[in-house]
Structure formats: C-alpha cells, structure tokens
Amino acid sequence: MSTLPVIAAVDGSEDGLRALDWAFDAAHRREAPLRVVHVRQYAAWAQTDVLVAGEPDTAEDPALGQARAHLQGRAFAVPTEYVGMEGVPGALLPELGGDAQLLVLGSRGRGGFTGLLLGSNGMAAARDAECPVVVVPRPGREVHGEAPEVPGPRVVVGLHVDSPDDATLSFAFTEAESRGARLQVVAAYPWPVQTWAAAGQIVPEVIDEVALESETRALADGFLAPHRERHPGVRAEPYVAPGDAAGHLVASSQGADLVVVGRHRRRLLAPARMMGSVTHAVLLHAASPVAVVPPAPPRE
C-alpha cells in the first residue's frame, strides 16, 4: 500500500514558496512523498464544467520550474513529483485532499486582494478538503492578547470540552511528537455567564468561576488521557482560561510552530461543510501556520 503524499500548492508567489518549504519539511518528518501542484486558473465563465481539469506540460509551467529550483540542494532527499493542472483553484484544490495526507498552501497567492489576510482558495481548501489543511501565513503578523510563555518548540491545539474532536487532538499530538515539542491545549470557558429572562432582561447567574475553571480542567484532562497514553513522550499542558477561545488561540500562536483547530461536523439541517467562527478567526489572525483538521467520521 503506497503512502499518500503531502501536497504543496504553489502559484509562483512567495506565499507559495513558504507553503512549499513547510510541506517539504512535513513530508520529510512523515517519510512521505511530496507532490507539488500548480493549478493554472482559467475563467469560470468560459468553461462548461469548472471541476474538469486538464494537465498541461509541466516543463512549460513557470511556477513548477520555480518550485524545482527552490528545492534544489536540500540537505535531505524527499521523493517529489510536479503536477500542473488547469481549472478553478478554489474548486480543484479541495478535491486534491482526497488523495493526500496533508494539503499545504500559502495564506494568499497571486491575484488576491491586498487587504485579505486569507485568500479565497485557502478558505475553500480549509473548509472542503478531505484531509487536514495547513495554511502558512506571511511573516510578521502581529497578534494581541496575553498567553503563557512556553519555552522551546510548541504546538497549540484548541479543545472545546463540550464537543471535543478526537481527530484534532490526535493530529496535534502526532505533530508535537514528530517535532519534539510541547503541546499547549487551549480550553476556554465562557465568563461571565449570563442567563436571559423574560422581556430581554439579563439575570446574573450565581456560578463559582473557580469551580467552572476546575470542571473545565478536569474535562480537558479526561479527553487528553488516551492521547497521552499513546504519546507518552509528549508533554501536554492544558491552558484553561475564561473568555473567547479564538482570542486565546491567536495570542498563543505567537512563537508557536503550529496551531491546530478542528472543522465542524456536517449537521442534519446544515449539510454543507462548515469551519466555525473560532477556526475562521484563527485562520485570519494567527501568527503561526494553522492546521484545520476535518472531523473524525461518525461511529456506526
């Protein structure tokens, strides 16, 4: 059985080269082949079916030629193939995830609006791909908020104790182990807690914040226990704090190797794939690369 590749999406931009560097390192860590893909965009209105892709001559593709030159002289070898395609990137890139263990792309490539922190192709891939998607931001992003200082290499993962996702935690533990990094587990709880009464009145509810924090920590430790057993070398440290989960994750992204977040499961009344507001905010504002992990398939 062949090993699924790590796919790097390039487009001739500096964003694409940063994604290529990250993907090359990931393929080396995973002992997986690297597939470098460039989707030449054509106008959707000029085609009868935007999901059908051709494969142009890769020797004449400047973006792939740039990628080849960029990878020359690396200290270690990774089996690499170069694939050129034609189509709409926002439609084709998510489809590539069905034949990959990881899809990596830059936060914004050629043709993106200057003011956008995340291009439409990255958003579509993170929302729709079948495999985890890593979005590599441009350097120098400033983040606000306070987070505990953790020395050394660090992976950050968001944990929603009301609806934890095993696939997200598993991915984060595996990444931390491969990097020899600590795992910072961000578990936020709402505070202050408010209860709505009749006629739109807010009635403060008597809740002990210390007890709420303690319960959140206990739940987090319970969800982490099986992963700690499978990865005994990973030091996983819960960071339990009140307030907005997205804000804590973005603050923790400063200096982190990677931030890992989950993607929402499909729901009966909302069958389309969704990312969720926390994942969306982290993609837009995190200073480190962000991995968006699709949910584990529901158990029978």
Instruction: Indicate which CATH number applies to the domain containing 35.
Output: 3.40.50.620
Residue with tokens 């977040």: 261
Cis peptide upstream of residue 204 (ω within 30 degrees of 0): no
User: Given pLDDT bands bounded at 50, 70 and 90, which one contains residue 45?
Assistant: very low
Q: 205-225: per-residue pLDDT in tens?
A: 556 778 888 999 999 999 999
Q: Structurally, how many domains does the chain consist of?
A: 2
Do 181 and 260 fall into the same domain? yes
Q: Is residue 141 part of a domain?
A: no
Provide CB contacts within 8 A for 25, sequence distance 6+: none
Rounded Cα distance, 263 and 294, in Å: 5
Q: Is residue 143 part of a domain?
A: no
Q: Is residue 57 part of a domain?
A: yes
Q: Is residue 131 part of a domain?
A: yes
Do 45 and 109 fall into the same domain? yes
Q: Is residue 148 part of a domain?
A: no
Do 189 and 128 fall into the same domain? no
Average pLDDT for residues 240-258, to the nearest whole number?
Answer: 93
Residue 242's domain is classified under what CATH number? Answer: 3.40.50.12370
Rounded Cα distance, 235 and 228, in Å: 8
Q: What are 43's two structure tokens?
A: 């106008």
Do 97 and 181 fall into the same domain? no
Q: Is residue 105 part of a domain?
A: yes
Share of residues in the chain with pLDDT > 90 (%): 56
Q: What is the average pLDDT score of the chain? A: 83
User: Given pLDDT bands bounded at 50, 70 and 90, which one contains residue 268?
Assistant: very low
Which residue segment(s) compose the domain that 132 sits in? 6-136
Do 204 and 109 fall into the same domain? no
Q: 3-35: per-residue pLDDT in tens?
A: 999 999 999 999 999 999 999 999 999 999 999
**Is 236 a residue whose pLDDT tops 80?**
yes
List C-alpha distances in Å: 135 to 182, 197, 230, 262. Answer: 21, 42, 27, 13
Q: Taking Cα atoms as reference points, which of 248, 265, 262, 264 lies closest to residue 290?
A: 262
**Is 190 a residue whose pLDDT tops 90?**
no
Query: Would you call 261 helix, strand, or coil by DSSP?
Result: strand
Centre a 10 Å sphere on the Cβ of residue 194 and count the other Cβ atoms it contains: 12
